[in-house]
Amino acid sequence: MPPQKYKVTYIEDTGKSHTVEVAEGWSLMEGAVKHLVPGIDADCGGACACATCQVYVAPEWQDKLPPKGEMEDTMLDFAPDTRPSSRLSCQIRMSPALDGIVLNLPKSQH
């Protein structure tokens, strides 16, 4: 049975919005890359090694996310233009609880 898919909205720095469907278990980074959403580089392909897949999570969704791992937390410490709502999208897996999540993208990942 193919995995269930849920909606994610990625909003570019320019305001352009992309609502796409992401399979359960896939990372929100993979969801963006798979649907050609610009603004997520993901150089390392999701190994939490490059910090080029940063997103800003809309306030109403922040509590629904699993807490940051130590590696993600420290990678974000050194990423450009971070905010309290910053997460690395490669570390967040799609789940039913995240159906409809809204993510804002930074101007640049470098």
Partner 1 sequence: MPENIVIIGAGQAGQQAVQSLRSEGFKGAITMVGDEDYPPYQRPPLSKAYLLGSFERPRLFLKPDSFYAEAGCELLLSTSAKAIHRADRTVELTDGRLLAYDKLLLATGARVRKLKCPGADLPGIHYLKTIADVDGLQAVFQAGKRIAIVGGGYIGLEVAAVGAKRGLDVTVFEAMDRLMARAVSPQLSAFYAAEHEKAGVKLKLNTGVEGFEGGAKVERIKAGGQTYEADIVLVGIGVIPCQELAEAAGLACTDGIVVDQNARTSDPHIWSAGDCTRHTGREGQEIRLECVQNAIDQAKHAALSMTGKPKTYSEVPWFWSDQYDLKLQIAGLARPTDRLVQRGEPASRKFAVFHLRDGVVAAVEAVNAAPEYLVGKKMIAEGKRVAAETLADTAIPMKQMG
Instruction: Please give the angle made by the CA atoms of 70, 53 and 75, to the nearest 5 degrees.
Output: 30
Choice from 4, 16, 17, 34 touching partner 1 (CB under 8 A): 34
- Asked whether the CA dihedral 61, 31, 33, 73 is positive or negative, the reply is positive
Nearest to 56 by CA among 3, 19, 11, 94: 11
Residue 92 interacts with partner 1 (CB under 8 A)? no
Question: Would you count residue 36 as binding partner 1 (CB under 8 A)?
Answer: yes
Structural contact between residues 59 and 53, judged by C-beta atoms closer than 8 angstroms: no
Kindly tell me which of 58 and 79 has the beta carbon lying closer to partner 1: 79
Question: Which position among 8, 22, 32, 33 is part of the footprint of partner 1 (CB under 8 A)?
Answer: 33
Nearer to partner 1 by Cβ, of 62 and 74: the residue is 74
| Residue 51 found at the interface with partner 1 (CB under 8 A) | yes
88 sits near partner 1 (criterion: CB under 8 A)? no
* Shortest spacing between CB 4 and partner 1, in angstroms: 15
Question: Is residue 97 part of the contact set for partner 1 (CB under 8 A)?
Answer: no
Q: Classify residue 58 as exposed, middle or buried by CB count within 10 Å of its CB (0-12, 13-18, 19+).
A: middle
Distance between CA atoms of 24 and 77, rounded to whole angstroms? 28
Question: Total binding residues for partner 1 by CB under 8 A?
Answer: 19
